[in-house]
Structure 1
């Protein structure tokens, strides 16, 4: 809705219209050079003339709105006289040709509200670097680029390198002498390994079979195969003969002349035969018999240990004192 005529009269009475009418903002380059080249800095000034008692606020525009103008430095504001002020910036233009500097704005507050007072735009002519060269009469032909002249080294520059080389050589000499004087490493004489109980791992295997109770999981054949392997391993590690690769009859013939005596021999052959009957004839003993077979194997291992294990002589290499004898 348009304002009524009596509102305009009210504005005139309040004195706002005279403040707007008498305010003025002007943009200029001070001082204006004869020629302005691309990138040359210049001073851009904004003059503002307002009434007395009117507050003034300088506004610096955003950089994007001023391109190709770039503000390099903001200078302090000056008071030129009653109601006359000036704000300056150091600026540069990086584009050749006829360029237009966008208007700047000043915030003016006569006492009852601030309004923005814009200035006029400013057109400037910017010369390129090529135009500058032509105006001076310089030749634009390409010129040869010469290598920089070699600068002789002074003693102050050579001395640190000489000292560093001398220090490295001295450290190398000291390291070589230290390595030469270091005693040679003597051959290490390793102590003979302690004797290992040949039945230990097989007795541990029998204990593992007792804990696993594989027959309770339907693995009766695997249980008797492990039981037979443990008994054959005890014989093989004690005598050095390949009992794990022998059949039942071959084991019987190999032990016919000893070292096992009658009851121990009969118990062993009975356990091996029972294992073969389960593995090959598919005979299924009861759970009680499975436990009993394991107990019989453990008892046989305990009784046969004294007959199968014999003291072994360990041959020791003669020392240097005995070699000359």
Structure 2
């Protein structure tokens, strides 16, 4: 009986431990990619809190596959700074190396979030997720800070600060402004023109090109406003795609945008180029990545190319059955 007791305890422990062979669940409707090889490393392994480190992922895959990093929306205790991507093709396969620079804001052994990838294959889009890694995060204070008399204070709770209020003055001014606006509206309504000329709306491709020309003329990257440039350019391209294919592109996230377009009939749509633009613009807008002037020009050129390859003018309106037939002279 005493010999059976350790065996029973071992069986119970194995039954209670979670299985490590379970694969992560794939995104609904998207299959998982299977690279030929993959290696992950974090350098350096120990960093001070707030200091940058590099999360490197090296993926070996077929030459007709393309891997693009999808920046996670929720990064927890980490901040994504920038990323680089390098691809090297060999005779039988290709190797793509991603280097993501980030910083941590939690002490101790912290797990770096797993990196998801969008994979373009001849069979269709796939997904792949690189495994998470651990990094040791240390404090910026020296080990003998307490012995040297360093006083550490926690964050103070918010305190009420008395501020002089101009609320009554603003209310009076607002009432006067409302009265003046009402009087002006009455004068306009009384003297309004009886017949108004309706200017026809320009076609979608003409309006989009005008918006791109206006953005190009402002030359925001030369003035150091790269983030504002990508926000404006992304809004123009999303507005064009939403009106061209009749869906709410401006309200979609980057992954929702690509998923919606893949479900539609989009002849001529450069999916790989669009995915690269979406990934680059997200890194600049949300991860504070740097973009060169050449990258900004290439992104603007992509907007014109997208119109040339995808715009289809709407069919002309059909004549009504009740329309009068033309008279023969």
Q: TM-score, normalised on structure 1?
A: 0.36
**Which structure is larger by alpha-carbon Rg, 1 or 2?**
1
Which protein is richer in helix relative to its size?
1
Which protein is richer in strand relative to its size?
2
Using CA pairs below 8 Å that are at least 6 residues apart, which structure has the higher relative contact order? Answer: 2
Q: TM-score, normalised on structure 2?
A: 0.35
